[in-house]
Amino acid sequence: MTDWIALDKAHCWHPFTRQAEWTSEESKPLMLVRGEGVWLEDAKGQRYIDGNASIWTNIHGHAHPVINAAISEQLSRVAHTSFLGYSHPLAAELSERLVRFFPETTLQRVFFSDDGSTALECALKMAIQYRLQSGEEGRTEFVAFANGYHGDTMGAASLGGVNAFFERFRKFGFPVRFVSSLAELQELEGLDSVAGVVIEPLVQGVNQIHVWPEGMLRDLRAFTEAQGIHLILDEVMTGFGRTGTMFACQRENVVPDFLCLAKGLTGGYLPMAATLVREEIYEAFLGDASKAFYYGHSYTANPLGCAAALANLDIFESESTLEKLPAKVDYLAGRLQRLAEESPYVSEVRQCGVVVGIELRDAEGKAFAPARRVGEQVCVAARRYGLLTRPILDTLVFLPPLSITEEEIDLALVAIAQGISAVLGQESPDLSN
Ligand SMILES: *Cc1c(COP(=O)(O)O)cnc(C)c1O
């Protein structure tokens, strides 16, 4: 059998990875070869619950027959055609299906790209070009939120507030001011030079699952509107049901000026993104050639991606995914509360829909020394009990596909409890009823 691990260690360069450690003798990376529902299987035949939905992408489970069939059907026709100079039926249908979620006078125009970062890049470039074409050349800055995350391309990353990721590139990025709350934004001087405010609505993912106060998004919308500042929502993680509604902004009846979607757009099957834009912004791009939006990628509106995305939306209807969510979210909340009560090392649980952060601290409530990498060790240990997930520092992230069942939630949380015990040396908490 081919030694895939050796080939990987010799030639692959992994994202956000300490390669020296990854390629060391002791490291035994999992080779994932198959998936079904919320389960993933490795090359040795071990099965695991996909506890972070394959890096926050998967919605209805792996190998879903409806999505598989939709991709196969399109594949039998053609895999890719250019969206530059041509169109195709599925892109037309998908754009209509997406805008249908929003009032007719608002987000009605869809620009396709490839991933979360490019969905943000598009919104940022559009926001700046819009100002240049509307006699507002002075609005050249962005405001973003501290510790936010918007992707890794140079432009999107410059709006990110996680210093470890971007500090060394800061001087190459956009002009951005960071605030940590709406109140701080309201006190900023010179708001008339701001083109747009970017935020992850309801919950910041990479910031250890930081949940915003209720009503904050609604108030932010009112404030930005009054100031003539565009509201750019990054729903790359929160989109497609994660927070309980199709889009997080719907929870507070907010319609942004730009809406960025990616990860769950195709149900987690193929890389594809969409930037939804208000019609009046789009209209500023009409006219002679100098007004066009000169931007695009080779795989823009890839037909296989569109097929998967349409099937993803179909499943929301055929399986009543959103209707079933509240009961699951409540069940999950109950089980998490039990975990927090039973484990002395769970200091806080933060939850928004099926987006969960479980923060670990020592029994006195103090943070562990970062060098101990407790969160990471717990996640590695949890694999032995059948769960795959990743921490952010010492916050364990649990962000399963929406299709997870109550039984599977139980299995996952038991694996987390066992992982914690294995690393921190405490008897495994009893999570039975
Ligand atoms: C993952 C993520 C991105 C970046 O998406 P990519 O597809 O990885 O480029 C942007 N914003 C948020 C909120 C994300 O979670």
CA of 263 to the centre of ligand 1 (A): 7
Protein residue closest via CA to atom 15 of ligand 1: 237
Using one digit for the tens of pLDDT, what is the confidence trace for 174-217?
Answer: 899 999 999 999 999 999 999 999 999 999 999 999 999 999 99
- Regarding pTM above 0.85, the answer is yes
pLDDT tier at 425, thresholds 50, 70, 90: confident
pLDDT at 1 > cutoff 70 = no
- Tens digits of per-residue pLDDT, 110-119? 999 999 999 9
Q: How far is the CA of 171 from the centre of ligand 1 (A)?
A: 22
* pLDDT band with cut points at 50, 70 and 90 for residue 220: very high
Nearest to 195 by CA among 156, 224, 153: 224
- When mean pLDDT is compared across 225-229, 353-357, 427-431, the lowest value belongs to 427-431
Amino acid at 368: F
Position of tokens 């979607």? 261
Q: What is the dihedral of CA 129, 134, 135, 136, to 10 degrees?
A: -60
CA of 120 to the centre of ligand 1 (A): 9
Tell me the pLDDT of the chain averaged across its residues.
Answer: 96
The closest of 219, 173, 213, 177 to 194, measured between CA atoms, is 177
| pLDDT digits 0-9 by tens, 347-374 | 999 999 999 999 999 999 999 999 999 9
Residue 131 annotated as part of some ligand binding site: no
Point out which residues pair with 120 in neighbouring strands.
none
Please tell me if the CB atom of residue 35 comes closer than 6 angstroms to any atom of ligand 1.
no
- pLDDT, mean of residues 274-298: 96
- Amino acid present at 307: A
- 149 known member of a binding site: yes
Binding site annotation covers 297? yes
Q: Is it the case that residue 101 has pLDDT exceeding 70?
A: yes
Q: Say if residue 171 carries a ligand binding annotation.
A: no
Comparing CA positions, the residue from 278, 189, 186, 192 lying closest to residue 231 is: 278
Structure tokens given for 419: 């992982």
* Contact indicator for 150, 174 with CB cutoff of 8 Å: no
Tell me if 268 CB under 6 Å of ligand 1: no
Q: How many CA atoms lie within 13 A of 137 on its CB side?
A: 1
Note whether 204 and 210 are within 8 A (CB): yes
Residue 42: per-residue pLDDT: 97
pLDDT of 432 over the 80 cut: no
Residue 172 has pLDDT above 90, yes or no: no
Q: For ligand 1, is residue 52 a contact (CB within 6 Å)? A: no
Closest approach atom of ligand 1 to CA 156: 10
Report how far residue 150's alpha carbon sits from residue 433's, in angstroms, rounded to the nearest whole number: 40
Report, as an integer, the average pLDDT of 335-357: 97
To the question of whether residue 343 is assigned a binding role by annotation, the answer is: no
CB neighbour burial string for 183-192, b if at least 16 within 10 angstroms, e if fewer:
eebeeeeebe
Whether 151 and 236 have beta carbons less than 8 Å apart is answered as yes
Nearest atom (ligand 1) to Cα of 115: 7
Does the C-beta of 116 come closer than 6 Å to ligand 1?
yes
Do 176 and 143 form a contact (C-beta atoms < 8 A)?
A: yes
Per-residue pLDDT of 387-406, as tens digits, reads: 999 999 999 999 999 999 99
The verdict on the CB of residue 335 being under 6 Å from ligand 1 is no
| pLDDT tens track for 149-159 | 999 999 999 99
Looking at the predicted structure, is the pLDDT value of residue 428 above 80? no
Q: Which helix (H) or strand (E) holds 198?
A: strand 194-199
Task: Tell me the best of 58, 158, 199, 236 to mutate to test the pocket of ligand 1, counting ligand atoms within 8 Å of each CB and taking the most.
Answer: 236
282 is in an annotated binding site: no
